[in-house]
Amino acid sequence: MIYKRSSELFAEAQKVIPGGVNSPVRAFKAVGGEPVFIERAEGAYLYDEDGNKLIDYINSWGPLILGHAHKPVLDAVIEKAKKGTSFGTPTEIETRIAELAVKMVPNIDKIRMVNSGTEACMSAVRLARGFTGKEKIIKFAGCYHGHSDSFLIQAGSGAVTFGTPNSPGVTQGTAKDTLLAKYNDLENVKELVEANNDEIACIIIEPVAGNMGCIPPAEGFLEGLREICDETGILLVFDEVMTGFRLAPGGVQERAGVKADIICFGKVIGGGLPVGAFAARNEIMDYLAPVGPVYQAGTLSGNPLAMAAGLAMLTELDNKREIFESIEKKTEYLHKGMDKVLTQNNVDFTINREGSMISVHFGKEPVTDFDSAAKSANLGLFNKFFHGMLENGIYIAPSAFETWFLSDALSYEDLDKTIAAVDKVTKDF
Give the β-pairing of 357-361 and 404-405: antiparallel
Ramachandran region, residue 56 (left: φ > 0; alpha: ψ -120 to 50; beta: rest) = beta
- Angle among Cα 35, 39, 40 to the nearest 5 degrees reads 120
How close are the terminal C-alpha atoms of the chain, in Å?
Answer: 21
* CA R_g for the chain: 21
DSSP per-residue codes, 17-83: SGGG-SSGGGG-TTT-S-PPPEEEEEBTEEEETT--EEEESSTTTTT-TT-BT-HHHHHHHHHHHTT
* Residues 416/75, Cβ–Cβ less than 8 Å: no
Nearest to 283 by CA among 130, 115, 138, 145: 130
- Catalytically active residues are 144, 239, 267
Instruction: Say which residues have a Cβ less than 8 Å from residue 333's Cβ, sequence separation at least 6.
Output: 412, 415
